Structure 1
Amino acid sequence: MPVSRRTLAVAFTACLALSLSACGSGDDGGGSTDASGKVEGDITFQTWNLRANFKPYFEGVIADFEKKYPGTHVKWVDQPAEGYADKISADAAGGTLPDVVNVSPDLVAPLAKAGLALDLDKAAPQYKKEYLAGAWASHEIPGMTGTYAFPGYLNTGPLFYNKSLFEEAGLDPDQPPKTYDELFADALDLADKSDGEVATLANVPTIEDFGRYGVELMNKEGTAFSFNDAKGVELLTKYKELYDAKALDPQALTATPESSGKKFLTGAVAMNPGSALDLGNFKKQAPNLYKNIGITDQITSTGHVNMYVMGVMVNAQTKKTPAAVAFAHFVTDAEHQMSFAKQVAIFPSTAGSLDEPYFTKEDGTDETRVRVAAAKSLKNAVNYTPVLFSEQMKTALRNEIAKALQGKESPREALDNAVEACDRLLQQQG
């Protein structure tokens, strides 16, 4: 459960190839979907790269749970970030998946398809009202009914911009772009006034950018992608214009979040997405930038910003369903998510938590300004990245976008080819 979704390892393919009989479907005597029995027994809880920084916190949560439910014992195992998806896949194949597992939505999808993720809408529907609607829905799987993990913490962030670069280009530093039309116009102005030395954006569009732009990414059945519609082609055409004008950084085709962050620090890029965590870095590494930092909302055509979400899944094969469900709920309830959010710059997914003063009252610092703005936007945020959109699909889309930006294909051809490749990979998953 890393703090940023930017670095998530999501190359999770092995379990997709396993049949329901191989992974188990929950009706072979190995587990029960009934979570209403007595909460007792030993369970195993697996997290994702959390022990190094949060050992006392999670040991405290476990101790509180065992105190609340005498007769329970929680064994905590923590896996490194590297290879986490492969570890889950191997456990799924070998029948050794822990009772409660820290997951992201894309990791839940193959487990749910294989009958290994407990459907909370059936097993624990009473908890749904405790969470933000968008967060609960983030662990739904297209083509299936049900919800397959408790939502844990959320993250989102604003757009940062360099006020001095805006001012040098004759743009109002206190009026950053609020719409895509304004963004594209300002970007072209910045590139023109700087003779191509200053780009506004450092990254090519990702699947979530198409979602924010209002593109229908996938059909409701979850059987085919649709981001090659007219609106998708329109967005990529706009990015091609930016790329040709050097308003999109020339190295965007190979950019990483780290490299684009460095471009922003050095003033080569005028805008960059980020979070409250970044402000400390600006203050230390680029004090001049920090003095001139502008903070504005994510730009969307939908009115909904993108959320990153991590969840806690219950193994449908657990022999201790009541205890596993109770613990998964306990670790993600309002009290514990709020406690965790005060230790690290993340946000709780529980309904009402974002109305607490910690997330609504500013104290004059940029840190609280970012936190308050992000919390407000999260109330109706959505996870745009389809849970069925794999790493291979991301690569296929990125490769086709690169061809379009370089003029090797038209935006229409590139997106048609990307959809064709992603649909083919989707069929291989099924």
Structure 2
Amino acid sequence: MPIPRRTFAVAAVAALVLPLSACGSSGGDGGSTDASGKVEGEITFQTWNLRANFKPYFEDLIAAFEEKYPDTHVKWVDQPGEGYADKISADAAGGTLPDVVNVSPDLVAPLAKAGLALDLDKAAGQYEKEYLEGAWASHQVPGMEGTYAFPWYLNTGPLFYNKSLFEKAGLDADKPPTTYDELFDTALRLAEKTDGEVATLANVPTIEDFGRYGVPLMNKEGTAFSFNDAKGVELLTRYKELYEAGALDSQALTATPESSGKKFLTGAVAMNPGSALDLANFKKQAPSLYKNIGITDQITSTGHVNMYVMGVMVNAQSERKPAAVAFAHFVTNSAHQMSFAKQVAIFPSTAGSLDDPYFTREDGTDETRVRVAAAKSLKTAVNYTPVLFSEQMKTELRNAVAKALQGKESPKEALDNAVKACDRLLTQQG
């Protein structure tokens, strides 16, 4: 994924539709899970839009691996962010999937079902203890046994707010909202005090927001969605109230992460989620905002913030499994994740790494303040977006939210219809 962009934190991946008959039996391994044996041979490693910014890092990483295992050769290919899911789908269908692949959890699910993602619980279970529990679990697929990718880098972030906008509305800029009730009350007050000129939020709720609110998103078997329960309806009802009062930006129904970020940069909205990556952007593009930036914790009803996670998958049909598993583990081990995290504002998924002074000591700057707070929260963070929640499902939920906010359907009716549509799509995944 393109780490330098704020879209890393909220990236949506296009749904993969794999012709299972071409890829192996659904739910199988697509081959032996035995990754023992000599680490040798040529393997292909595919990343996701990382060459432009991190070419020296990966060239050095590969050289170190090949020095450790002299009988190996790693061919590195890097795909652009645009159409990455389609590229993986085409390679899967054509039998040309690389040996080691940079993936997100929602890309892993269809590949695992198609028998193309190696079950690491069976092939490399000895490494599980090296990673954070929540990170290792992030590439597990409901309804299937196993873990289908090594966790790699993580991200999360705070809620940023514009102190000057708070002050203009007569709000205490040093006491930002810490609960959903406070958030909604603050938003309504700010809209009222500015005659609707300044909204507090720029985005409609996504599946991740329902998760943070404490809504049960899916049953444990992974066979049906459940975000239309009473708590889900409650959240959407509150957002409808914000929308009608002008506390939710008027263009929220069509907003993208980029457009929402621009709204915050220009002072059109008072609050916006982000990550440590954003601070440098604020400093460069909006110095006046940077001087007035407020930083507060992600709001959640569960006590657990959202974890955004990337992984490294091994092709279950690789002819060089020992080398592929060894390299995937090498890329994601503690030392290499730590060195990568110091090059860009992301976080390692390895156990104990977040206790390093780099992630625990502040030096008085906002950058270290955000980094330390994020690292602490990641220890118990979860990936709220279900791995089976495809891009089509995201569209169904977004359309339902829009109908509810516009008054075309009640929040209950809209979510009921969204769940029905998502359940239907779920059965089509195989």
TM class by shorter chain equals over 0.9
**Matching residue within 2, 17, 20 for 1:18:** 20
Alignment of 1:197-346 (within 5 A): 197-346=197-346
Residues 40-97 of structure 1, C-alpha deviations (whole Å, 9 max, x = no match):
1111111111111111110111110111112111111111111111111111111111
CA contact (8 A) 2:26 2:114 kept: no
Residue 342 and residue 6 in structure 1: after superposition, are their counterparts in 2 closer, same or farther (change >3 A)? closer
Q: What's the counterpart of residue 421 of structure 1? A: 421
TM-superposed CA distance for 1:144, in Å, is: 0.4
Residue 248 and residue 385 in structure 1: after superposition, are their counterparts in 2 closer, same or farther (change >3 A)? same
TM-superposed CA distance for 1:32, in Å, is: 2.9
Q: What's the counterpart of residue 34 of structure 2? A: 34
Coordinate RMSD, CA, aligned = 1.6
Aligned residue for 1:161, secondary structure, equals: strand
Aligned residue for 1:380, secondary structure, equals: coil
TM-superposed CA distance for 1:165, in Å, is: 1.2
Equivalents in 1 of 2:268, 2:57: separation in Å?
40
Equivalents in 2 of 1:233, 1:299: separation in Å?
18
CA contact (8 A) 2:29 2:115 kept: no
Equivalents in 1 of 2:156, 2:407: separation in Å?
33
Residue 164 and residue 29 in structure 1: after superposition, are their counterparts in 2 closer, same or farther (change >3 A)? closer
Alignment pair present for 1:388 and 2:391: no
Alignment of 1:24-423 (within 5 A): 24-25=24-25, 31-423=31-423
CA contact (8 A) 1:118 1:149 kept: yes
Task: Return the letter of the residue paired with 2:152.
Answer: G
Equivalents in 2 of 1:30, 1:311: separation in Å?
20
Aligned residue for 2:74, secondary structure, equals: strand
Structure 1, gaps ≥5 residues long: none
TM-superposed CA distance for 1:24, in Å, is: 2.5
Residues 357-402 of structure 1, C-alpha deviations (whole Å, 9 max, x = no match):
1111111111111111111111110000001111111111001100
Number of residue equivalences? 427
Equivalents in 1 of 2:197, 2:319: separation in Å?
61
Task: Return the letter of the residue paired with 2:106.
Answer: D
Equivalents in 1 of 2:231, 2:414: separation in Å?
14
Aligned residue for 1:200, secondary structure, equals: coil
Residues 73-123 of structure 1, C-alpha deviations (whole Å, 9 max, x = no match):
111111111111111111111111111111000000001001110000111
TM-superposed CA distance for 1:25, in Å, is: 4.9
Deviating beyond 4 angstroms after TM superposition, the runs of 4 or more aligned structure 1 residues are 25-31
Residues 315-374 of structure 1, C-alpha deviations (whole Å, 9 max, x = no match):
111111111101000000000011011111111000111110111111111111111111
Residue 118 and residue 218 in structure 1: after superposition, are their counterparts in 2 closer, same or farther (change >3 A)? same
CA contact (8 A) 2:29 2:119 kept: no
Equivalents in 2 of 1:259, 1:82: separation in Å?
18
TM-score, structure 2 normalization: 0.97
Task: Return the letter of the residue paired with 2:220.
Answer: K
Residue 28 and residue 216 in structure 1: after superposition, are their counterparts in 2 closer, same or farther (change >3 A)? closer
Equivalents in 1 of 2:363, 2:140: separation in Å?
38
TM-score, structure 1 normalization: 0.97
Residue 193 and residue 42 in structure 1: after superposition, are their counterparts in 2 closer, same or farther (change >3 A)? same
TM-superposed CA distance for 1:28, in Å, is: 11
Equivalents in 2 of 1:100, 1:237: separation in Å?
44
